[in-house]
Structure 1
Amino acid sequence: MKKVLFLLFAFVCALISACKKDAAINNQNSAANVPVKRANASPPGDVVGKVVVGYQGWFAAVGDGSPINQWWHWAPNWGATPSASNNGIKSWPDVRDYTTTFQTGWANLNNGSQARLFSSYTTQTVNKQFEWMQQNNIDCAALQRFNPTGGEGPVRDAITAKVRDAAQTYGRKFYIMYDVTNWTNMQSEIKTDWTNKMSAYTSSTAYAKQNGKPVVCIWGFGFNDPGRPFSAAACLDVINWFKAQGCYVIGGVPREWRTGVGGSRAGYINVYHAFNMLSPWLIGAVGNVGDADNIYNQHMISDQADCNANGIDYQPCVLPGDLQLHQRAHGDLMWRMFYNAVRVGAQSIYISMFDEYNEGNQIAKTAESSAFIPAGSNFVTLDEDGTPCSSDYYLRLTGDGGRMLKGQIALTATRPTQPIVGGGGTGNPPIGQTITLKSANNLYVCSENGTQAMNANRTAVGGWEQFAITSAGSGKVALQNSGKYVSSENGTQAITCNRTAVGPWEQFDWINNGDGTISLRGSNGRYVSSEGGTQAMTCNRTTIGSTEKFRVNQ
């Protein structure tokens, strides 16, 4: 009898302990407001487990060879040159990486360079932007496609082909994202467009597939506004038609899609549940970290649970913030949104947007300081809150957000991305230190005492082979020897070390190559080259090869 009572007592104690442990875990989860992550509705593919950027590709310029031959989206009056009185953008792009740009009517930049803009129609522009995606491990681009039956149709068709080619070249994925805004005959014409034109792109190795099916996104069903008046029946017809074509269909939907109030039309829940993936729109709803957390608590947790219950993949938006409205907080807003998306268990993340300079929420390269905006303009630059940020900062931040989504780095609320490139084998720019630079030929860079063009041909270190590194502002550096500064000569002639003051040509980006070397990029967007030590050094290379890499203090 005693033995039985003892065993019963032990069992009760163990049960109480287990209950306390479960309660502690539940309280911990409740305190952190973190839902239990469930299994993905779909396995990893080209979209699930990946970061996707919204890609407008909608900028053109007079003289770019495009069918439209106007300043498409750069200005409200497309027929007139963009200027201070004809401006259609919120943020000024950094165009130093483009070889083909177009002169505007804006005043010269504050660094003296001409105020020029790119065209999305030029092959070099599309290639460069997809190269940025490759460099920053951005997986996929959702190519926006508005009503293609109007005057913009031919240029959109041409850009689609350029996007396919660039995606193939740089190992990225892309898919078509139809925006149905103001598309009067959408229900029939979207099917015709897919059948006659867009479906052909699914044969490309770069076209995104999910669950073995080509991906299509339809943005705008269920929004409660005059520009998208489609009935629930019409929407369901289009979704089911695409699914019958063998497509995996994503819906860009209102953030109130579950409740059918506010921005969502009532009675559309069956429309939303017909999609394979849902991507609620957040532009205009998030302007700071507090807003991001409110969206997480009021929408995302329940959105993910609803998607899980209905076998739908969830793709919340992440946005950098409107730069002109000072929302970005040098990346803290965007990182909070990445953190919230990953901790809620999202299957994918959609970046709003890659190249949306019109609304100021682009992640593509942007003017980093007042030196890179037109004189007299009021464009806000990336260093607006006093923290210098390199022009590629939000591309790099997106790359790190993707690594967190994929589990390559731990879930963290602390942004790991530094506003200025640094770390790795070379560390941050050694401001205040004196260094040497050894080129790929194992010889040292020489200032030539400022009396002739610089060379990389010295076997030993003397006074002319040592350079003091100083800050040039906005994350850039200047190199000084014997009281004079190294000049890129704007890439038009051999570089020298004979300037007495720092101007645009004396400022360089310090780039960590991640292999124990650094590169230097001039204000012309070109890289310093050692020229193999066989001739005077230049600053005219468009890409980094062995002769554009230098080892520090070796």
Structure 2
Amino acid sequence: MRKEMLLWASALLLFSGCSKSNLAEKSVNPLTKKMTGSTTLLSGTGDVVGKITVGYQGWFGCAGDNSPYNSWTHQNLECWPDVRQYTTTYAGDKFNQAGVQQAAFNGNLGNGQPAKMFSSYDQSTVNVHFLWMQQNGIDCAALQRFGGALNTDARDKGFRDGMATRVQNAAQTYGRKFYIMYDISGWTNFQTEMKTDWTSFMSAHTTSSAYAKQNGKPVVCIWGIGFANRPGNVTSWSDVINWFKSQGCYVIVGAPGNFSTDTANQAAYNLADMLMPWRVGATTNFQTMDANDLTYCNAHNIDYQTDIYPGTAFYNSNASRPKNEIPRVHGDFMWSQFAGAKNANVSSVYISMFDEMNEATSILNCAEDASSIPAGNYFLTLDADGTHVSSDFYLRLVNDGGKMIKGQIAYTASHPTPHVLTPPASLTPHVLSSSSIQINWSQVADAPVYNIKRATVSGGPYTTVAAGVTGGTYTNTGLTANTTYYYVISAGYINGGESTNSGQVSGKTNP
């Protein structure tokens, strides 16, 4: 099985050119026994220690987005995004699904709405993503930076450099942190080129108030050290780690899942300020692996950050793989990793990934069912295992998982996150005058705001008259006398997911 996984990982890497889908060598037990171990942080809580970090690809380009490519890039999607909350979206003529099994396409979603995509290069897109991070307790984003494309195509360098600026802007706006995560693959000579890229371009971002610092040092991650299908060896990897440390950086090393037993490469691993194992592809024994990794890191005075992912699949780009390779099981699979980490006393978490729709590890809002993917095309939907969940479910799950890791909610072996947001109940209309009606309702615990919708015909269609309302009451003014109005309310987030509508109530204004 290990050999098969590694062979698949190599194949995926060759196909994508800049993918991190090398599957972990090891791998969700029932998690019934809490392991012992120190909860003391080797480093104090900072921007990455004791925090929830997400990997952020930021590589989706669209025709017409005015990016250096200004065309469809990284559109070999396994999941389709839910774009209802974006202010700017793009339609394909046709969507260029380069390298996937299905032909390029355009047209409508299953529900008849136009099929549209977001561009990562659009600042409004990054703003939405970082707003979702803020709303869901995600502290930090690791912006991916791949050497292969930077070396061979000036358009890609322009795109990637532009993404660093956009991420910095959004992180500053929404009070999040970010840092640069270098993937060691694809560089012609990573020992020199990665250093030049840092000193000439990326280090300038460390002056931002949003750039992540740990122990007073700017954070940099070097991912891929110790992997057989990445370039380098212990000597060259050690050189790069030591160089970044000499620049005053706090260095995270992204390593294979077996780093604690990989004696051949431990001389490089042991130079890290923080170690993070890659777990995408692992399916069992998370608690044991975390406990072993944490013990190793504590013994070597290294901070530890575990890796948690929702599930994965790569069928659209490789039809020899199953359509739902490692199922999400409506959140149970991901929660088992949070529970294992909590039981092993892990305090720092990396989520793989925020927006990686190419390999179905994304936690951002994606299509719930066939009604919200392009008609006549295959994409992995969130109801693939037969349970309907809202498009923002995995963001809310990560929010709850992060709270459990941080001790803000009690440990639970089963996730507490509702699959769909609960609509408000007990709506009560109060006619106040000939021009105003007050609506009261019972608040729900799983959403902070409410959207009030109104119609003049029973059953709608409804128009949203107020969004982002807090509390349990709203007064609708400016109404027409002697007129019946019908109201429903949904619960949700500002510019985020929302519940289904509540039951309808009505009131007739005074003459």
Contact persistence 1:479–1:486 (CA under 8 A):
no
Q: How far apart, in 2, do the equivalents of 1:402 and 1:92 lie?
A: 25
Structure 1 residues 443 and 335 mapped into 2: Cα distance closer, same or farther (>3 Å)? farther
Equivalence for 2:291: 301
Give, in whole Å, the separation in 1 of the partners of 2:476 and 2:239: 62
How does 1:280-319 map onto structure 2 within 5 Å?
280-286=277-283, 291=284, 294-297=285-288, 299-319=289-309
Aligned ranges for residues 73-472 of structure 1 at < 5 Å? 73-74=74-75, 88-104=76-92, 105-147=105-147, 148-151=150-153, 152-225=156-229, 228-260=230-262, 267-286=264-283, 291=284, 294-297=285-288, 299-322=289-312, 324-325=323-324, 327-422=327-422, 428-430=423-425, 435-436=427-428, 457-459=435-437
SS of equivalent residue, structure 2 residue 130: helix
Q: Using a 3 Å threshold, how does the CA distance of structure 1 residues 185 and 532 change in structure 2: closer, same or farther?
A: farther
Q: TM-score, normalised by structure 2?
A: 0.77
Query: Aligned to 2:459, which of 485, 504, 512?
Result: 485
Which residue in the other structure is 2:478 paired with? 533
Task: Work out the CA distance in 1 between the residues paired with 2:277 and 2:216.
Answer: 24
Q: 1:470-516 CA deviation, whole Å, 9 max, x = no partner? A: xxxxxxx9999999412147x8xxx8xxxxxxxxxxxxxx9996633
Residue 178 of structure 2: SS of its match in structure 1? strand
CA distance in structure 1 between the partners assigned to 2:287 and 2:378 by the alignment: 33
Q: In the alignment, residue 413 of structure 1 is paired with which amino acid?
A: A
- Are 2:33 and 2:343, in contact at CA under 8 Å, matched by a contact in 1? no
Identity %: 47
* Structure 1 position 107, deviation (Å): 3.0
Q: Which residue of 2 aligns with 1:55?
A: 56
Which letter does structure 1 place at the counterpart of 2:74? H
Amino acid at match of 2:226: G
1:119-171 CA distances to partner (integer Å, 9 max, x unpaired)?
00011101111111111121000000111333111100001000000000000
Gaps of at least 5 residues in structure 1 are 1-29, 75-87, 261-265, 423-427, 445-455, 468-476, 496-509, 519-529
Task: Report if the CA contact (8 A) 1:330-1:387 is conserved.
Answer: yes
Whichever residue aligns with residue 90 of structure 1, its letter is E
Distance in 2, matches of 1:128 and 1:311, equals 38
The aligned amino acid for 1:210 is: Q
What's the CA shift for 1:537? Answer: 11
- 99-108 vs 332-341, which moves further: 99-108
- Report if the CA contact (8 A) 1:107-1:376 is conserved: no
TM-score when scaled to structure 1?
0.71
Contact 2:436 2:479 in 1 (8 A): no
CA deviations 1:80-135 (Å, max 9, x no partner) are xxxxxxxx111010001112111123331111110110100011101111111111
Give per-residue Cα distances to partners, 1:188-228, cap 9 Å, x unaligned.
01111110111111110000010111000000011012xx1
State the number of aligned residues: 430
* Structure 1 residues 160 and 537: CA distance shift in structure 2, 3 A: farther
Residue 448 of structure 2 is matched in structure 1 by none
Q: Secondary structure at the match of 2:460?
A: strand
**Whole-angstrom distance in 2 between the partners of 1:370 and 1:437:** 36
Write the distance in 2 (CA, Å) between the matches of 1:187 and 1:459: 68
Q: Which amino acid aligns with 2:231?
A: P
Specify the SS of the correspondent of 2:133: helix
In structure 2, the residue corresponding to 1:486 is in which secondary structure?
coil
Question: d(CA) in 1 for partners of 2:292 and 2:287?
Answer: 9
Structure 2 residue runs without a partner (length 5+): 1-30, 93-104, 314-322, 442-450
Report the secondary structure of 1:317's partner residue. strand
Report the structure number with the largest CA radius of gyration.
1
Q: In structure 2, do the counterparts of structure 1 residues 443 and 273 end up closer, same or farther at CA, with 3 Å as the change threshold?
A: farther
375 and 551 in structure 1: CA distance in 2 versus 1, 3 angstrom threshold: closer
Cα distance in 1, alignment partners of residues 167 and 195 from structure 2: 21
- Conserved in 2, the CA contact under 8 Å of 1:248 and 1:276? yes
Report SS of the residue matched to 1:206: coil
| Cα distance in 1 for residues equivalent to 2:234 and 2:170 | 37
Inter-CA distance 136–466: structure 2 relative to 1 (3 Å threshold): closer
- Partner amino acid, structure 2, of 1:303: D
Q: Deviations over 1:221-272 (max 9, x none)?
A: 11012xx120211110110111111110001100011222xxxxx6210100
Q: Secondary structure at the residue paired with 1:116?
A: coil
Residues of 2 paired with 1:319 and 1:459: CA distance?
47
Q: Would you say the 8 A contact 2:454–2:462 is kept in 1? A: no
**Root mean square deviation, CA, Å:** 3.6
Shift in Å, 1:386: 3.0
CA contact (8 A) 1:94 1:367 kept: yes
1:65 aligns with 2:55: no
Greater RCO (Cα-Cα under 8 Å, separation 6 or more): 2
Q: Give the superposition deviation at 1:383.
A: 2.3
Shift of 1:33: 5.4
Task: Give the equivalent residue in structure 2 for 1:37.
Answer: 38
Q: What is the one-letter code of the residue matched to 2:291?
A: I
Letter in 2 for 1:411: Y
